[in-house]
Amino acid sequence: PQKPFQTKLVLLGEAAVGKSSVVLRFVQNDFQENKEPTIGAAFLTQKCRLEDRLIKFEIWDTAGQERFHSLAPMYYRNAQASAVIYDVTKASSFEKAKSWVKELQRQANPNIVIALVGNKIDLLGRTESVEESTAQGEEDDETATATPEAGASSSLRAVPKDEAEAYAKESGLLFFETSAKTGEGVVEVFTEIAKKIPID
Ligand code: GDP
Ligand code: MG
Predicted ipTM? Answer: 0.99
Alpha helices in the chain (DSSP H): 19-28, 72-76, 91-107, 125-134, 142-146, 161-171, 186-196
Specify the residue with its C-alpha closest to ligand 1, atom 14: 34
143 Cβ below 6 A of ligand 1 = no
CA of 62 from ligand 1 middle (Å) equals 14
Ligand nearest to the CA of residue 26, numbered in listed order: 1
pTM for this structure?
0.87
Specify the residue with its C-alpha closest to ligand 1, atom 9: 18
172 Cβ below 6 A of ligand 1 = no
165, HSE (Cβ side, Cα atoms, 13 Å): 5
* Residue of 42, 63, 125 lying closest to 88 (CA atoms): 125
CA of 179 from ligand 1 middle (Å) equals 9
Look at residue 128 in the predicted model and tell me its pLDDT: 63
- Could you read off the pLDDT of 14-67 as tens digits, one per residue? 999 999 999 999 999 999 998 888 888 899 999 999 988 899 999 999 997 878
CA of 11 from ligand 2 middle (Å) equals 9
Would you call 76 helix, strand, or coil by DSSP?
Answer: helix
